[in-house]
Chain A
């Protein structure tokens, strides 16, 4: 079946613009995660959705970042007034259940965001 799909695959934008990143998880996966990898850094947890609810938003780096998920499926990560430090690869992953830790995550190919 189809894997996790992310769009766009690449995004170049000017500092100060808003960007929206999209994630389509695997059908039936209730858990959805957003991560980012900045240059030279490891994967950084941003936010997790169980269904449409995000129980913990503390991983979002600033109030310029927001995320939502609708219909228990598609999720969007929005960055307002982008800054150069937002440049990174943003990865989305889904799993069958987030409430147990023995379920592997299935990742998308990521969105490479570059802020000029």
Chain B
């Protein structure tokens, strides 16, 4: 059974702190790993799609790395701001195409 796990489940940080969380996925038959941010009362927003081992992508203060051999991706947020408060989801396509398994997410709360 394919599974995508995210940790921690939730986290509170102070404004200005840097933080990171993990997505673990099956390392065999890797195709891609997606990261999404889901703010309360909004729709999930795509952050990154990562496809190559060793990939590192950056969007403003948020960056992500990928290790396909060991089956994990890290998401980093530098200098967290209250507007970063959201649930961060990762997703893994099981057959390389349409059937995505999502993790249960990391709920981040940044305290002002």
Binding site for B on A (CB under 8 A): 3-4, 31, 33, 35, 41-45, 48, 50, 55-56, 59, 91, 93, 98-110
Chain A residues touching B, majority SS: loop
Instruction: For A55, list chain B residues within 8 Å (CB).
Output: 98
Specify the chain B residue showing the minimal Cβ separation from A44. B102
Contacting pair A98 B97 (CB below 8 A): yes
> How many B residues face the partner with a CB closer than 8 A?
24
Specify the chain B residue showing the minimal Cβ separation from A59. B99
Binding site for A on B (CB under 8 A): 31-32, 34, 36, 42-46, 49, 51, 89, 91, 93, 96-105
18 A-B residue pairings within 8 Å (CB atoms): A4-B43, A31-B98, A33-B100, A42-B104, A42-B105, A45-B99, A45-B102, A48-B98, A56-B99, A59-B99, A98-B97, A99-B98, A101-B32, A101-B49, A101-B51, A101-B96, A102-B51, A105-B34
Known: A102-B49, A104-B49. A3 touches B43 (CB 8 A): yes
